[in-house]
């Protein structure tokens, strides 16, 4: 006969996390306006140790792709739980395909044929395999971004970029109250931004006829923001290039390159006028923060209790 069934143990109380501000559309638009988004069509390929033809290849490289990277793992079981640890690295197949437009001199085709003959010579030379160090090259893929207009960051600057700590003064653990407070703060910032933008537009309108052509030229300039370099690359295959009387169009050639690994670097220069915008933000924060720091913190959750106690005290004082 079995004994009494043991009482079930109570589960631990679930943890609650503090409310966090939710990103909104206005923040996304402000981010895109100041940071921009990377574009697929803004790139060029750079070929090293190819000679003068390297510039032509950079112009004629029509399509490319940034290769990925994968970390292989091994599993280890600890205290009944399986954990994964990094073990190997794979540069996603160690090959990449670039597409070239073909000019009337067939420059990409000729260059790649000569390069492949350095790997394995042609029939007349007995298909001799070349030395690895003699036929490998580096290839860099550069991502571009608009350089921007002169003073762009300063022109887009707004006083609301300065953090005055006003939101930190309002404390509440209630999610609904947090949402209301965040919306009120965002609405006030939006109103101030609209007024400030209107003033800037009026100021710019007076000189727009002179500045517009200069700004159009400035926005067409580009700068390198990200570079991925294929190390020890060499052409492994050239695709078939069809011909036909009924075919119309430009010749394109796909070349698959083998490579050992790749390295990347980031170049993220500040927008023109960013230093001035940062100084303006710092000046506003240092000038007004000394006043906002004196504002006492308010716990919204206790406002109702405090008001109720004050009303109760008031009525008791006057005998009501």
Residues 24-63: tens digit of each pLDDT: 776 777 677 666 788 888 899 999 988 888 889 999 999 9
pTM (whole model) above 0.85:
no
pLDDT at 36: 72
For residue range 258-290, what is the model confidence (pLDDT) as tens digits? 999 999 998 765 555 566 667 777 777 777 777
Q: How far apart are CA 192 and CA 26, in angstroms?
A: 13
Distance CA 48, CA 141 (A): 12
Q: What is the pLDDT of residues 115-151, one digit of tens each?
A: 999 999 988 888 899 999 999 999 999 998 876 555 5
Which pLDDT does position 65 carry in this prediction? Answer: 93
Q: Does 33 map to a domain? A: yes
Give the C-alpha separation, 38 to 263, whole Å.
19
Residue 211, pLDDT score = 55
Span 209-266, pLDDT tens digits: 555 555 555 555 678 889 999 999 999 999 999 999 998 899 999 999 999 999 999 8
Strand 298-299 relative to strand 170-171, pairing = parallel
State the virtual CA torsion across 50, 55, 59, 65 in degrees, nearest 10: 40
Q: What's the confidence (pLDDT) of residue 92?
A: 80
pLDDT score of 117: 94
Q: Is 77 a domain residue? A: no
pLDDT in tens, 151-207: 556 566 676 766 666 666 666 666 666 777 777 777 777 777 777 777 766 666 665
- 3-class secondary structure for 58-115? HHHEEECCCCCCEEEEEEEEECCEEEEEEEEEECHHHEEEEEEECCCCCHHHHHHHHH
Q: Which domain holds residue 136?
A: 25-69+88-317
Look at residue 11 and tell me if it is in a domain.
Answer: no
* Residue 80 lies inside a defined structural domain of this protein: no
Provide the domain count of the chain: 1
pLDDT score for 119 = 95
| DSSP secondary structure code for residue 129 in this structure | B
Q: 2 lies in a domain?
A: no
What is the pLDDT at residue 199? 74
Query: What is the structure's pLDDT at 47?
Result: 93
Is 155 exposed, middle or buried, given 0-12, 13-18 or 19+ CB atoms closer than 10 A? middle
What is the number of other CB atoms lying within 10 angstroms of the CB of residue 153? 19
Instruction: Kindly state whether residue 8 falls inside one of the protein's structural domains.
Output: no
Q: What is the dihedral of CA 194, 197, 198, 200, to 10 degrees?
A: 170
5 pLDDT band (50/70/90 cuts)? low
Is 195 among the domain residues? yes
Q: Is residue 46 part of a domain?
A: yes
């Amino acid at each position: 006969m079995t004994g009494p069934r043991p009482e079930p143990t109570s589960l631990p109380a679930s943890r609650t996390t503090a409310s966090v501000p939710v990103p909104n559309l206005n923040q996304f638009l402000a981010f895109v306006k100041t940071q921009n988004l990377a574009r697929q069509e803004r790139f060029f390929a750079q070929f090293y140790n190819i000679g003068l033809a390297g510039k032509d290849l950079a112009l004629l490289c029509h399509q490319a792709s940034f290769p990925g990277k994968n970390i292989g793992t091994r599993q280890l079981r600890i205290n009944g739980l399986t954990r994964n640890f990094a073990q190997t690295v794979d540069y996603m197949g160690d090959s990449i395909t670039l597409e070239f437009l073909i000019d009337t001199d067939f420059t990409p085709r000729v260059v790649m044929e000569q390069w492949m003959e350095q790997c394995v010579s042609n029939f007349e030379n007995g298909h001799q395999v070349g030395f690895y160090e003699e036929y490998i090259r580096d290839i860099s893929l550069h991502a571009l971004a608009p350089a921007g207009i002169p003073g762009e960051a300063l022109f887009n600057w707004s006083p609301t970029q300065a953090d005055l700590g006003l939101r930190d003064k309002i404390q509440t653990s209630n999610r609904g109250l947090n949402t209301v407070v965040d919306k009120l703060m965002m609405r006030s910032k939006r109103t101030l931004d609209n007024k400030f933008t209107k003033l800037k537009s009026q100021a710019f309108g007076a000189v727009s006829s002179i500045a517009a052509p200069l700004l159009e030229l400035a926005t067409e300039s580009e700068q390198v923001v990200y570079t991925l370099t294929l190390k020890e690359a060499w052409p492994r295959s050239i695709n078939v290039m069809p011909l036909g009387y009924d075919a119309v169009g430009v010749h394109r050639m796909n070349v698959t390159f083998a490579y050992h690994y790749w390295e990347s670097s980031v170049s993220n220069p500040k927008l023109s006028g960013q230093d001035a915008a940062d100084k303006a933000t710092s000046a506003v924060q240092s000038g007004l923060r000394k006043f906002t720091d004196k504002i006492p913190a308010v716990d919204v959750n206790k406002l109702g209790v405090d008001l109720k106690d004050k009303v109760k005290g008031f009525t008791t004082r006057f005998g009501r």
